[in-house]
Chain A
Amino acid sequence: MKNNRTLNSAQQKFTFTRRTMFVGGVQAALGLVLAGRMAYISVAENEKYQLLSESNRVNLTLIPPRRGWFIDRNGKPIATNRADFRVDIIPERLVDKDRTVATLADLLALSGDDVERVKRELDQARGFQPIQVKDGLDYESFARISVRLPDLPGVSPRQGFSRYYPSGAAVGHLAGYVGVVSAEEYAQNKDPLLITPGYKIGKEGLEKSLEDRLQGKAGAKRVEVTARGKIVRDLETRPDIPGKPLKLTIDIDLHNYAARRLGRESGSVVVFDCLTGDILAMASMPCYDPNSFSDGIGVTEYKWLREDERKPLLNKSLQGLYPPGSTLKPLAAIALQQAGIDPEEKVNCTGGYRLGNRTFRCLGRHGPINMRDAIKSSCNTYFYAMGHRIGYDAIAPVARALGLGQEFDLPFVSQYYGTVPDSEWFRKKYDKQWSASDTLNATIGQGYVLASPFQLALHAARLASGLDLQPQILVGERKKPSRLKFSEEHLAVAREGMDRVVNAFGTARASRLDLDDVKMAGKTGTSQVRAILREGRYRSNDRRFRDHGLFVCFAPVENPRYGAAVVIEHGMGGSRAAAPVAKDVLTFLYDPDQAMARLESLESAWGGTIEQRMERDLATFRAELDAPTKADSEAAQKRAEGE
């Protein structure tokens, strides 16, 4: 060969020995590398791997904390936690996904929506994070699942808690509701607790705004599991720490009564404590049942709520804005006196007030009338004339001082503050000069004036007490309210006018309290629906064009204790629709039996309690949705004939 080197066996043996030593050296070196590597993993990184080994071994299941209760001023429950049963699936332990879901759907009568959702969540899930199949189950369903557990690996029936509102729809707008954390909320805060089945957060109302104070501390259940998810044994479990109960100023019995008394109407009742500013009742009806939301509301039920023209999803107490109408006349009376008008000065009512070439009409023909009687009879002419004399800029500050157009420091998700117009505001908003006719309209609570039932009730309470009441919803430390900067005499005139409205053959004479020792004072209001300012429409058969009925009141007349407002949307008149509600609600405070007797007779005429009526209405709605229309059935028939 071309290679000129040759070897003998001695040289070969030498090569072998040398190369064997080399191989041995390589082996020894690798041995050292392995020993070093092992030392690094097991000694230097020991802590890290011990932690990982522990997290393998121990499976931690969070126990959602129970939310703090809402209780009323007397300690009665408004929102509680009800023990119920829940079925979850633990994806890791699932054997046959489709069969298991099908069996569960059958046993629990799951809707198509639910089945879809469970399947979707299972596809995205991984590991031990349980997926909720259904909660709020009764014991029957729970037992049905439990006996079949051996055939359903991965299915985990548990006892849990769900939010329960004993008053149902009556407290919907006040308390709000809870629900599962949405994908967006979870994206913001990746706390695994948020997606633990059974964990709910406040979505609306006080539940939402007081979320931080209601939340408890999650517990944790620790179990030792194998890689296949078999539980070997239970380790120590840390129980959850429930959230602290929150005491509301609400008197739940009064609140429930008010909500029920609203009946089939769409409206709101707000009652204040005239001494403290406590909100005693704040009912807005119709309303959703917050229990439905807490259990995960159905598509149909939500559609039913959304399509109802009476807007059950809107909290009318705080977010409903209405022209207050004549309910603002007592307020105007105070402003007139402040401007120096003698309450005994009379204006001759001839059925209207002429301003330029336009006549502003009064509903009656009252003849010569003074301030107190103008309130009593709700004489527009008097207030047109007097309002015109002092101008609305002199009235607006009084309205604001009594709470109109104001927003309050309250833990509600949203309050609408309405409008108290004046020339300044008008110029800014419309770039026009405030006219005398604007003053006339505003004086009788029409035109640009807008207020919420909450503000109207507060205004009544402030006017009645003469105190600058600050509304309260949470029982706690509160400052003693200061006095309003109004002359007590001026206030007295307004109150006397309101007394006469009810007790001296005024506009609300039909609604005087049937009590021996307590009298109510009030003021009716009938406000035109804003879009329809022409007359004659208020008796329209079209509900949407009917006038709103309002009533503000306080009781007792001497030494007022309660201030309230009632607004009935499209109720056609304050004396007719709103005042009777106010009468019953205030009666309830003094003589519950009498009030309940009247309510029960009314409810039997309306078709039952709130729950009964809602259930029936929803059933009707479902039936209408499901019923095939005539066109559908004709088309089906044609198809059948064609074949």
Chain B
Amino acid sequence: MSMRPGIIPAPIAGLPWRLILLLVSLAFFGSLVLYSAAGGSLEPWAGKHMARFLIFLAMAIVMSRFPLSFWKTMTFPVYGILLLLLVAVEIRGFVGGGSQRWINLGFMGLQPSELMKPAVVLAVAWFFDRLPPSRIFSFDAVWPPVLIMGVPWILVVLQPDLGTSIAILFGGVVVAFLAGWPLRYFIGAAGALMVLVPVGYFFLLEPYQQNRVATFLDPESDPLGTGYHISQSKIAIGSGGLFGKGFLDGTQSHLDYLPEGHTDFVFSTMAEEWGMVGGIGVLFGFFLLLRWGLRVAMKSNSRYGQLVAAGLTCTIFFYIAVNLLMVMGLAPVVGIPLPFLSHGGSSMLTVMICIGIIMSIERHPGSRAGSFG
């Protein structure tokens, strides 16, 4: 934090303006795309998108003022509340007869499973922060994080929400990896997955999810059914070419061929009109964001700060990676939005919470000494 003397008051001058500029650019570009997706109108998406972003940005800046100890204290209460909400959602869905992921907060729908993503990262990081380094190879280092990730994971799988459940697992596992879990766990798990994935495909997945995976493997097998999303998305991106069809001139999105063009497939909407140039621009923006997150992690002096910053960065990365792989036909269709571009409150809230906490870690790198000598 550079404290430059001048006419700008110190608290404002001290804000991470480069990061804010990056986030505003991404969100503003997202608004442009949503403006076009609505046929050249702020309603119903672009205006709301920008307004929400500004509110969440303010929230993130406020969050960055809290010291790291605050997040440490908050970790388990928040984790516990979210777990209860997940159970509540589950029960309501069971009683109401059908899958129910939302809790209506009035101004937006809230998905507890969304917020569980950063919460799991915080909780697992909290655990490893407390774990003496010497115990990292012991079984004591295994079962608590597995429990922390596993319980919400099962609840989300039951919803059923495949994408979010994998995201929760991913955040927790990345933290465990960075905390120093032995590599053999990961190699062993990879081996087990290769056996379990086919089993899981046939016994755990809902038929519609099986269908999505099957279609992903061969999208042309059912171009009007489930493969429709992937085919149309590729057509949108592919027809954009190098420079795109021009702002407001996308046909795939405007003539409704591209499904979910304002949410999960917003990147395709963008790429159709802005082309490869726009796509590389967005990728570069995300690159800067993720690089910032990992740098904050590496610069942090507290173990909790390191793990949280890196874990949350990876949570954001997960959104970006899975979404982009999906829209380009490299991953099955899972309902995961693209940060800053997709319209949708819950995911933006999650991402901005992640950024707020990382900003807080950036502001409070902590003392050089770790918790354990």
Q: Do A and B bind each other?
A: yes
* Stretch from A50-58, A351-359, A410-418, A632-640 at the B interface: A50-58
B328, A38: Cβ atoms closer than 8 Å: yes
Residue of B133, B240, B280 near A8 (CB, 8 A) is: B133
* Contact (A52, B241) CB under 8 Å given A6-B133, A16-B180, A227-B257: no
Is A239 on the interface with B (CB-CB < 8 A)?
Answer: no
User: Which residues on the A side are within 8 Å of B310 (C-beta)?
Assistant: 16, 20, 23
In contact, B255 and A225 (Cβ under 8 angstroms): yes
Cβ–Cβ contact A228 & B325, under 8 A: no
Cβ contact within 8 Å between A42 and B238: yes
B205 within 8 A of A: no
Q: Which residue of A lies closest to B259 (CB)?
A: A227
Chain A residue contacts of B319, Cβ below 8 A: none
Contact B256 A20, beta carbon cutoff 8 Å: no
Q: Which residue among A9, A16, A126, A232 has the maximum number of chain B CB atoms within 10 Å of its CB?
A: A16
B271 touches A42 (CB 8 A): yes
Contact present for A27 and B179 (CB under 8 Å):
no
B241 / chain A contacts, CB cutoff of 8 Å: 42-43, 46, 50
Contact between chains at B370 and A9 (CB < 8 Å):
yes
- Return the chain A residue nearest B294 by Cβ: A24
CB distance from B342 to the nearest CB of A (A): 16
Q: Are A34 and B324 in contact (CB under 8 A)?
A: yes
| Binding stretch for chain A, among B134-142, B144-152, B353-361 | B134-142
Known A7-B133, A42-B279; contact A30-B321, beta-carbon cutoff 8 A? yes
B255 close to A12 (CB less than 8 A)? no
Q: Is the CB of A57 within 8 A of B294?
A: no
Are B286 and A31 neighbours in the complex by a CB distance under 8 Å?
A: yes
B291 CB-CB contact with A under 8 Å: yes
Q: List the A side residues contacting B257 at CB < 8 Å.
A: 53, 56-57, 226-227
> In the complex, A39→B275 CA distance in Å?
10
Q: How far is the CB of A296 from chain B (nearest CB, A)?
A: 31
A57 lies within 8 A of B276 (CB): no
Distance between B82 CB and nearest chain A CB, rounded to angstroms: 25
Assembly CA distance A27 to B372 (angstroms): 31
User: Would you call B314 an interface residue if the criterion is a C-beta within 8 Å of the partner chain's C-beta atoms?
Assistant: yes
Residues of A within 8 Å of B297, CB to CB, are 20
Cβ contact within 8 Å between A20 and B370: no
| Distance, CA A284 to CA B257, complexed state (A) | 58
- Is residue A35 within 8 Å, beta carbon to beta carbon, of the partner chain? yes
CB-nearest residue of chain B to A37: B328
> Does B252 belong to the interface (CB within 8 Å)?
yes
Q: In the complex, what residues of B have CB within 8 A of residue A35's CB?
A: 279-280, 283
Hey, which chain B residues are within 8 Å of A49, CB to CB? 234-235, 237-239
Point out the residues of chain A lying under 8 angstroms from B179, CB to CB: 12, 16
Knowing A7-B133, A9-B372, A35-B283, the reply to whether A228 touches B180 (Cβ < 8 A) is no
Given the known interface contacts A9-B303, A9-B372, A42-B271, the answer about A1 and B238 at a Cβ–Cβ threshold of 8 Å is: no
A27 to B174, CA, bound (A): 12
Q: Is B98 an interface position by the 8 A CB rule?
A: no
Asked if B328 and A1 make an inter-chain contact with CB atoms under 8 angstroms apart, the answer reads no
Residue in chain A with minimal CB distance to B324: A34
B180 to chain A, nearest CB (A): 5
How many pairs of A and B residues are in contact by the CB < 8 Å rule? 150
Q: Is A188 an interface residue (CB 8 A)?
A: no
In the complex the two chains form, is A42's CB within 8 Å of B240's CB? yes
Across-interface contacts of B324 in A (CB, < 8 A): 34
Known A-B contacts A9-B133, A13-B370, A41-B238; the reply to A23 vs B174 at CB < 8 A is yes
Query: Which residue of B is nearest A56, CB measured?
Result: B257
Q: Is B185 an interface residue (CB 8 A)?
A: no
B242 adjacent to chain A (CB < 8 Å): yes
CB-CB nearest in chain A for B276: A42
Residue B236 at the chain A interface, CB threshold 8 Å? yes
- Contact: A227 with B137, CB < 8 Å? no
Q: Report Cα–Cα, A46/B240, bound state, in Å.
A: 7
* Per-position 1/0 for A211-239, Cβ under 8 A of B: 00000000000001111100010000000
Cβ of B113 < 8 Å from any Cβ of A? no
Taking CB atoms and an 8 Å cut-off, the chain B residues in 245-260 that contact chain A are: 251-252, 255-257
Q: Are A227 and B328 in contact (CB under 8 A)?
A: no
Cα(A39)–Cα(B276), bound, Å: 7
B290 interface residue, CB < 8 Å from A?
Answer: yes
Query: Are B370 and A1 in touch, CB under 8 angstroms?
Result: no
CB of B291 within 8 A of CB of A41, answer no
Contacts of B255 in A (CB 8 A): 56-57, 224-227, 232
What's the Cα separation between A5 and B183 when bound, in Å?
A: 14
Also in contact, A34 and B139, with CB within 8 A (given A9-B370, A42-B276, A52-B235)? no
- CB pair B317 A27 closer than 8 Å: yes
Interface residue? B298 (CB, 8 A): yes
How many residues of B are counted as interface, with CB atoms below 8 angstroms from the partner's CB atoms?
57
Name the interface residues of B206-239: CB closer than 8 Å to any CB of A: 224, 232, 234-239
**B303 and A53 form a contact (CB under 8 A):** no
Residues of B within 8 A of A28 (CB): 287
A35→B297 CA distance, assembly (Å): 26
Does residue A11 face the partner (Cβ distance < 8 Å to B)? yes
B373 at interface by CB-CB < 8 Å: yes
1/0 contact string of B308-331 vs chain A (CB within 8 Å): 001000100100010011001110
Contact, CB under 8 Å: B252 / A34: no
Q: Which residue of A lies closest to B314 (CB)?
A: A23
B306 within 8 A of A: yes
> Which residues on the B side are within 8 Å of A52 (C-beta)?
235, 238-239
- In the bound complex, what is the Cα–Cα distance between A52 and B178 (angstroms)? 45
Shortest Cβ distance from A7 into chain B, in angstroms? 4
- Cβ of A103 within 8 Å of any chain B Cβ, yes or no, is no
Interface contact A37-B177, CB-CB below 8 Å: no
* Residues on the B chain within 8 Å of A41, using CB: 234, 237-238, 328-329
Beyond A31-B283, A38-B328, whether A53 also contacts B139 by CB under 8 A is no
Which residues from A are CB-within-8-Å of B234? 41, 49
Is A601 an interface position by the 8 A CB rule?
A: no
Contact A19:B134 (CB < 8 A) given known A27-B317, A53-B235, A226-B256: no
Task: Assess whether A482 is interfacial by the CB under 8 Å rule.
Answer: no
- Which residue from chain A places its CB closest to the CB of B179 in the assembled complex? A16
A31 touching B287 by the CB < 8 A rule?
A: yes
Question: From residue B195, how far is it (CB to closest CB) to chain A in Å?
Answer: 23
Which of A12, A39, A43, A45 is B136 in contact with, Cβ under 8 Å?
A12
Which residues of B (155-188) have their CB < 8 Å from a CB of A? 174, 177-180
Across-interface contacts of A11 in B (CB, < 8 A)? 133
B236-A53 in contact (CB<8A):
yes
Assembled-state Cα–Cα distance A123/B194 (Å): 43
B303 surroundings in chain A (CB, below 8 A): 9, 12-13, 16
B177 touches A53 (CB 8 A): no
Q: Mark B65-100, 1 if CB is under 8 A from A, else 0.
A: 000000000000000000000000000000000000
What residue in chain B is nearest A48 (Cβ atoms)?
A: B238
Closest beta carbon of chain A to B323's beta carbon, Å: 10
**Contacting residues, chain B, for A5 (C-beta < 8 A):** 137
A17 beta carbon closer than 8 Å to chain B: yes
Is A15 part of the binding interface, using a Cβ–Cβ cutoff of 8 Å? yes
Q: Which residue of A lies closest to B301 (CB)?
A: A13
CB nearest neighbor in A for B306: A16
CB distance from B290 to the nearest CB of A (A): 6
Those 9 A-B pairs whose CB atoms lie nearest each other, nearest first: A49-B238, A53-B239, A227-B256, A3-B137, A9-B370, A6-B134, A7-B133, A1-B138, A226-B255
With A23-B294, A35-B280, A43-B241 already in contact, 17 other A-B pairs whose C-beta atoms are closer than 8 Å: A1-B137, A1-B138, A9-B133, A13-B303, A13-B306, A19-B177, A19-B178, A23-B177, A38-B276, A41-B328, A42-B241, A42-B242, A42-B279, A46-B242, A49-B234, A56-B235, A57-B255
Residues of B within 8 A of A (CB): 133-139, 174, 177-180, 224, 232, 234-242, 251-252, 255-257, 271, 275-276, 279-280, 283, 286-287, 290-291, 294, 297-298, 303, 306-307, 310, 314, 317, 321, 324-325, 328-330, 370-373
* 17 examples of A-B residue contacts, CB within 8 angstroms: A8-B373, A9-B133, A9-B370, A11-B133, A12-B370, A15-B180, A31-B283, A37-B328, A38-B271, A41-B237, A42-B239, A42-B276, A43-B242, A46-B241, A46-B242, A48-B238, A226-B257
